[in-house]
Amino acid sequence: MVFSIATAFSLITRAQDLKIWDIRPAKTWMTEAYPMGNGSIGGMVFGGIAHEHIQLNEISLWTGDETNTGAYQALGDLFIDLSHKDSSETYRRELDLGSALQQVSYTVDGVRYKREYFCSHPDQVMVLRYAADRKGAYTGIIRLKDAHVARTSTEGTTLVINGVLENGLHYDARALVRVEGGEIIPGADSTVQVRNADGFTIYLAAGTDYSNRRSQQWRGQDPTGRDRRILTAAAFKGFDQLKSRHQYDYRGLFGRVSLRLGNTPASVQALPTYQRLLNYRNVPDHGIEALLFQYGRYLLISSSRKGGLPANLQGLWNDSNTPPWRSDYHSNINIEMNYWLAEPTNLSECHFPYLEYINSMREVKKEHTVKEYPGVRGWTVRTENNIFGGESFLWNTPGSAWYVQAIWEHYAFTRDKAWLGGFGYPVLKEIVEFWDDHLKRRPDGTLVSPMGWSPEHGPTEDGVTYDQEIVYDLFTNYIAAADTLHIDRAYRDHVADMREHLLKPRIGQWGQLQEWETDRDDPKDNHRHASHLFALHPGKQISVNKTPELANAARVSLQARGDASTGWSMAWKMNFWARLQDGNHAYTILKNFITLVGGSGVDYNEGGGIYSNLLCAHPPFQIDGNFGYTAGIAEMLLQSQTDELQFLPALPDGWADGEVRGLKARGNFEITDMQWKNGHIVRLTIRSLSGGNCFIRVPNALKGTLSKVSETGGQWRYRCSTRAGGVYAFTSL
Ligand code: FUC
């Protein structure tokens, strides 16, 4: 392989700049500890020198049932108390996003200590390895503490917690300790003691008897046997093998996308992450912008893996049994935002927990829905949702229609027709049927959603824009799905007719996009939800290229809403401005997002941002903002919602040069490489995974095997006919 010096340099910068690190242990869970997870078990690592603390979670540990929302629970804590001093001059803890590995290293009394932590998906185990450069350096006590009332016990050198929640859900967590050299003995009060060991390894497994099948009353396999088997297999494989299997698995997902936005000077990279955040206002640091983009991908891979539950309001990291908003699945923006990045940033596999969750809710939600809306087919949801179909707060009538947008998007990005036909289409259709029965027909034929509420303000009334736009999107996706599968022709035409008659978005007296049918929008309203702009993003009914007047009205509304807001609201605004093709405005919001929010404040009127561990501050911590930020950057670089691939649709002046690899576009196209200089694309390589015509819109002329369709307003449009598996490379003309 021949490497140019420039390529080698950029690979090195990329690897360096994928680390979040600090020179002090974490004091505060929410703002400083670093997360790790494998989609089912998770840990927040404090990295204490003599007193390590890893707070633990298991994603299905929920109270509540079908009629009571309950809350997502904390699992417990693992403490490792070492006998050496609690201070060091050389301390460093880091989270490497490139390999999903955390390290803590320090020197005490001339001994160099090093810990390595990860959470393996293939082996379903958390692994913590303690090494030192002097034999016999480790003496300490290891404890496991339950977050509920269960007592810890020991089975040999395994620490065990085993309990039952008030709803009858069984859970089990166990940590097996293995030493090298020295000795290991059971300690007092159900602890394990390590004496004069050269090093030791902790293998931790955890699970519940939750099943996502309602037909089994939401209960499945007993977790104890499963955890025992996991630990036996893990200890047999040992640290090195587990680590390489973990990295192979993780890199297979994470490594698909790389992003470089300009060059970050080595002097900036040499600073601890919180310092870079503090400097960010004054020192340009595109490296941290890209790091935060990749962090969203890390967090999704760590909290949402096939076979598991979707990422909740906090992903899977939660240290409380009464967390904010129950750490639940909120249907009026939050869970949807969690998955905006999945397809565009090439993590389609991580989308499945959400898609499967939607499927698992169908039967129970039908029962709830028909009580509220007698006589309807299909189903919808309230705003707050748990993992057993239980729900609370107000009805969010278009909630299920927004859910199933994900089904269409998964198909649009992957072109997996068998999946669409077998899994996706029946769900899409039953939600369409709900609206077929629920919509109200006015004497003039107009269809309106009755008594809706624009989240989370204003009156409850007919024809709220949020409802109308989501139903429009649902019908559009349904029609496309029926066309793709060549089925249900007559019903498809009926849906097309309903779509025709839906009350459409309107432009109001101050040029704004109306949030309600009555032109009552207040230009001073700066509410965090901008739900009436759904049609701009994540919908596609409004776009700069196809409906410029409506896009302009959306711009007027968005300007009035203002830039400052809560974490997820800023992330949504990045996406809106990207769709409005205003890269500089998207970038202004992006920079506001990178505001270091201190303390453990929970008052969101004080504005959102991020903490020093880069988790998003609603405040408090809420992960949707992290995911929405990543999706926002993807939207700034590539859009494909209007049947063409538009490259650099919203490039800010500050990102004149850069390179991205691995983004995906609808139509199952993978952008294996795009490099730009001075805002112009110099190299573009597209892999067509399903074949077909690829329409391309770019800010400068390209050469390669493509034919020009048009050239207007500084945008070039091309058509490239592709075959499945083909790779198409273009350069600037
Ligand atoms: C919605 C938002 C809040 C918060 C909550 C979890 O209700 O309005 O800001 O994000 O979800």
pTM, two decimals, is 0.97
How far out from the chain centre does Cα 291 lie? 15
Ligand 1 site, residue 531, Cβ cutoff 6 A: no
Question: How many A from CA of 489 to the centre of ligand 1?
Answer: 39
Q: Which domains does the chain have, with CATH numbers?
A: 5-255 (2.70.98.50), 668-732 (2.60.40)
Question: Tell me, what's the pLDDT at 606?
Answer: 64
Pocket test for ligand 1, best of 312, 318, 333, 527 (most atoms within 8 A of CB): 333
- Of 8-17, 18-27, 554-563, the poorest mean pLDDT is in 8-17
Question: How many A from CA of 360 to the centre of ligand 1?
Answer: 24
Question: Tell me, what's the pLDDT at 482?
Answer: 98
Kindly report the CA angle at 190 between 189 and 196, in degrees rounded to 5?
95
Write out the two tokens for 226.
């499963």
**CA-derived radius of gyration, the chain:** 26
How far out from the chain centre does Cα 352 lie? 12
Binning pLDDT at 50, 70 and 90, where does residue 6 land? Answer: very low
Mean pLDDT calculated for residue range 50-73: 98
> Residues 387, 326: contact at Cβ < 8 Å?
no
Question: Tell me, what's the pLDDT at 2?
Answer: 38
Strand-pair partners of 81? 51, 141
Between strands 199-208 and 170-180, the pairing is antiparallel
- Conformational region of residue 226, where left means phi above 0, alpha means psi within -120 to 50, and beta covers everything else: alpha
How far out from the chain centre does Cα 546 lie? 29
Mean pLDDT calculated for residue range 344-354: 98
Ligand 1 site, residue 330, Cβ cutoff 6 A: yes
Indicate the helix (H) or strand (E) that contains 419: helix 417-419
Mean pLDDT calculated for residue range 171-190: 95
Question: How many A from CA of 59 to the centre of ligand 1?
Answer: 20
pLDDT digits (tens, 9 = 90+) for 547-591: 999 999 999 999 999 999 999 999 999 999 999 999 999 999 999
Ligand 1 site, residue 618, Cβ cutoff 6 A: yes
Ligand 1 site, residue 623, Cβ cutoff 6 A: no
Q: How far apart are CA 349 and CA 411, in angstroms?
A: 12
Helical packing angle, 567-579 and 548-561, nearest 10°? 150
Indicate the helix (H) or strand (E) that contains 396: strand 391-396
CA distances from 326 to 207, 385, 441, 644 (A): 20, 9, 38, 40
Pocket test for ligand 1, best of 326, 602, 622 (most atoms within 8 A of CB): 622
Q: Give alpha helix (H) positions in 454-594.
A: 465-485, 489-501, 548-561, 567-579, 583-593
Instruction: Reply yes or no on whether the pLDDT at 13 is more than 50.
Output: no
Instruction: Reply yes or no on whether the pLDDT at 289 is more than 70.
Output: yes
SS3 355: helix
Atom of ligand 1 nearest to the CA of 618: 10
Instruction: Reply yes or no on whether the pLDDT at 648 is more than 80.
Output: yes
Q: Closest Cα to atom 6, ligand 1: which residue?
A: 325
Mean pLDDT calculated for residue range 19-44: 98
Question: Tell me, what's the pLDDT at 187?
Answer: 85
Binning pLDDT at 50, 70 and 90, where does residue 600 land? Answer: low
254 contact partners, CB below 8 Å, separation of at least 6: 97, 98, 100, 294, 297, 298, 301
Question: How many A from CA of 333 to the centre of ligand 1?
Answer: 8
> Residues 51, 81: contact at Cβ < 8 Å?
yes
Pocket test for ligand 1, best of 386, 456, 572 (most atoms within 8 A of CB): 456
Atom of ligand 1 nearest to the CA of 529: 8
Q: Closest Cα to atom 10, ligand 1: which residue?
A: 334
Question: Tell me, what's the pLDDT at 604?
Answer: 60
